[in-house]
Amino acid sequence: MDIESQLRLDEDVEAVAFYLDENGGRLDADPAGEAGVWWATMRPRTIPEEQYYVRIGWLRYPDAPPSVKFGTAVGGSLGITAAWPVVPSYRPGNFDICAPFTKEGFESHPEWAAQFPWPTTGNPFLWIVDIVQGHLDRSYQGRSG
């Protein structure tokens, strides 16, 4: 990640951390120190004892969507299906989210670029976290297994 992207991302982190705190979660920098990577601890409001660790990895912020995956812990394995919630368009078997807010979704569906332009204004990091929280709150069907 270039320095300009990193500085812009750093500006938006505080709002994301506040949002997660308000929703019973937490934001952590990547324990391995990878630039542009953050871990959001999130939970469905209806089942607060469930906890998910969402790895959000930016290559160019705010110009491109991040990789969004679920791990076993902050900094944990990304290749365990039980780390994933069951939510429509979340594909634990493929370890990706096939939706127009993730790098993986846009790679699978290049036609989405014209249909769903990527938002580069405001706080795209907060936008991503809000989408995932909304899915956990409204569409959660349990833990994958």
* Alpha-helical regions (H) of 59-111: 103-108
- Its domain, for residue 71, covers 3-138
Q: What are 39's two structure tokens?
A: 């871990």
Angle between helices 124-138 and 3-22 (to 10 degrees): 30
Q: Would 120 be classed as within a structural domain?
A: yes
Q: Would 143 be classed as within a structural domain?
A: no
Mean pLDDT, the chain, whole residue set: 96
**Burial (CB count within 10 angstroms: exposed 0-12, middle 13-18, buried 19+), residue 35:** middle
Q: Would 60 be classed as within a structural domain?
A: yes
Q: Please tell me the predicted confidence (pLDDT) of residue 96.
A: 97
How many CB atoms neighbour CB 60 within 10 A? 16
Confidence band, pLDDT 50/70/90 cuts, at residue 83: very high
Q: Would 145 be classed as within a structural domain?
A: no
Q: Would 102 be classed as within a structural domain?
A: yes
Q: Would 27 be classed as within a structural domain?
A: yes
Q: Please tell me the predicted confidence (pLDDT) of residue 76.
A: 98
| Rounded average pLDDT over 106-131 | 93
Q: Are strands 90-91 and 37-42 parallel, antiparallel or unpaired?
A: unpaired
Q: Would 99 be classed as within a structural domain?
A: yes
Is the omega angle on the peptide bond into residue 85 within 30 degrees of 0, that is, cis?
no
Instruction: Please give the model's pTM, rounded to 2 decimal places.
Output: 0.96
d(CA 30, CA 27): 10
Span of 1-5, 8-12, 63-67, 90-94 with lowest mean pLDDT: 1-5
Q: 9, 61 in Cβ contact below 8 A?
A: yes
Percent of the chain whose pLDDT exceeds 90 = 92
**pLDDT score of 98 more than 90:** yes
Summarize pLDDT for 9-62 with one digit per residue, the tens: 999 999 999 999 999 999 999 999 999 999 999 999 999 899 999 999 999 999
Span of 2-6, 42-46, 53-57, 122-126 with lowest mean pLDDT: 2-6
**pLDDT score of 1 more than 90:** no
Q: How many domains does the chain have?
A: 1
Q: Would 144 be classed as within a structural domain?
A: no
